[in-house]
A and B are shown apart, each in its own frame.
Chain A
């Protein structure tokens, strides 16, 4: 199967529709999830759902849903769900004027680490602003910030998964960046001994159309910083191809410092 962007639902807009956010705390009994789905399927059409296990063994079901009848209410759906033994607790929150916002979740957690979610265009726009404001110095600043973040991320991953595992699976870990929306990242050894080449298609840093920038210095710094932390010595980082310079993908060459 071809990869897709992960759809998550902190917000949904569909004018004229009656929308609900259905949250259920599920018991750890087998079939809990499907029994709740069976109950609500006659009342709502699910737009998007997620389930995750909590540390106490229970699970949370969270679903954005569209009412099948305009007369449907949040309380009626909640009472229906609570009839099931699978539901320990339930909360149904209604949207307003076709706008449904997740007011239950308080952020994002990835592998137990807190994450912040923002539009990639917004971040790319901030980078453009820094570049415009400070010129080439702004680009140097972005490289430095990328380096700092890459180094910190790699050190954090090494603490979590172990230094050797991170070192041995550095290539595979690029998939983690892809899943987080940085772009489709892939890496390989070479061309020369000790060097590494990283390919990024759909790179977030150059995703803004008509960007006046000429390269992805944040990403360039990120890969240098991450390599430094993973392999324990300094790397020179050069962006040999960039979408902003007319290439189809961005390409970074990492060379061990002599």
Chain B
């Protein structure tokens, strides 16, 4: 399942090479790097969910949640004490440049539909100013780091804090 992402990325890159948009060298480097980061992120959240589940929490990674609209949404991670409602949802936005407000909006409309108590957006490297303001306005907690791998630990810590305080 995870290797589907890798195959997809490589296929797109190959298409761009054929069209002459990318050189083979830069394409291979960027595709392997981005795919590896993505796989690492997916497996990181899976491990986090597994760890929390062992402690009795109902954690899922990846998580599919049907929203109020009846539309099914995918999240990198979700904590769902109740099978119909999420307490915490987490998603990632990994980019080579600052992440813009459209990614925040994209996350927010999903969160709004599933009516999660808490929403965490893990961003690498960081949100741009407008995106950060929007996230603040929407009540989205943002975790940022230049190193994507470090976001997993930060997210795990944030989720544990929410669980321990039971904060809304």
On A, residues with C-beta under 8 Å from B are: 133-141, 143-144, 217, 220-221, 236-238
20 A/B residue pairs, CB under 8 Å, sorted by A: A133-B102, A133-B106, A134-B106, A134-B109, A135-B106, A136-B73, A137-B105, A137-B108, A137-B109, A137-B110, A137-B112, A139-B69, A139-B71, A140-B71, A140-B73, A140-B109, A144-B69, A236-B70, A237-B70, A238-B70
Chain B min CB distance to A1 (Å): 38
Complex Cα gap A116–B108 (Å): 31
CB contact between B74 and one of A136, A141, A217 (< 8 Å): that residue: A136
Complex Cα gap A137–B121 (Å): 15
Question: For A217, what are the chain B residues with a Cβ–Cβ distance below 8 Å?
Answer: 69-71
Complex Cα gap A238–B110 (Å): 19
The answer to whether residues A140 and B113 also contact, given A221-B69, A238-B70 and a CB cut-off of 8 A, is: yes
Other A-B contacts than A133-B102, A134-B106, A237-B70, 4 sampled, CB-CB below 8 A, are A136-B110, A138-B106, A140-B110, A143-B69
Chain A min CB distance to B78 (Å): 14
A to B contact number (C-beta, < 8 Å): 48
Question: For B110, what are the chain A residues with a Cβ–Cβ distance below 8 Å?
Answer: 135-137, 140
Chain A min CB distance to B22 (Å): 22
Chain B min CB distance to A70 (Å): 50
Contact A140 B69 (CB under 8 A): yes
On B, residues with C-beta under 8 Å from A are: 67-74, 102, 105-110, 112-113
Complex Cα gap A143–B70 (Å): 8
Question: For A237, what are the chain B residues with a Cβ–Cβ distance below 8 Å?
Answer: 70
Complex Cα gap A166–B107 (Å): 39
Question: For A139, what are the chain B residues with a Cβ–Cβ distance below 8 Å?
Answer: 69, 71
Question: For B106, what are the chain A residues with a Cβ–Cβ distance below 8 Å?
Answer: 133-135, 137-138
Which A-B residue pairs are the 7 nearest by beta carbons? Answer: A137-B109, A143-B69, A140-B113, A140-B69, A137-B110, A140-B71, A136-B73
Question: For B112, what are the chain A residues with a Cβ–Cβ distance below 8 Å?
Answer: 137, 140
- When C-beta atoms are compared, the residue in chain B nearest to A133 turns out to be B102
Complex Cα gap A217–B113 (Å): 13
CB contact between B71 and one of A133, A136, A236 (< 8 Å): that residue: A136
Complex Cα gap A226–B148 (Å): 46
CB contact between A136 and one of B72, B102, B108 (< 8 Å): that residue: B72
- When C-beta atoms are compared, the residue in chain B nearest to A144 turns out to be B69
- When C-beta atoms are compared, the residue in chain B nearest to A239 turns out to be B70
Contact A137 B70 (CB under 8 A): no
- When C-beta atoms are compared, the residue in chain A nearest to B68 turns out to be A140
Question: For B72, what are the chain A residues with a Cβ–Cβ distance below 8 Å?
Answer: 136
Chain A min CB distance to B6 (Å): 21
Question: For A140, what are the chain B residues with a Cβ–Cβ distance below 8 Å?
Answer: 67-69, 71, 73, 109-110, 112-113
Complex Cα gap A94–B168 (Å): 67
Contact B102 A137 (CB under 8 A): no
Question: For B109, what are the chain A residues with a Cβ–Cβ distance below 8 Å?
Answer: 134, 137-138, 140-141
Question: For A135, what are the chain B residues with a Cβ–Cβ distance below 8 Å?
Answer: 106, 110
Complex Cα gap A140–B113 (Å): 7
CB contact between A134 and one of B68, B69, B105 (< 8 Å): that residue: B105
Chain B min CB distance to A93 (Å): 45
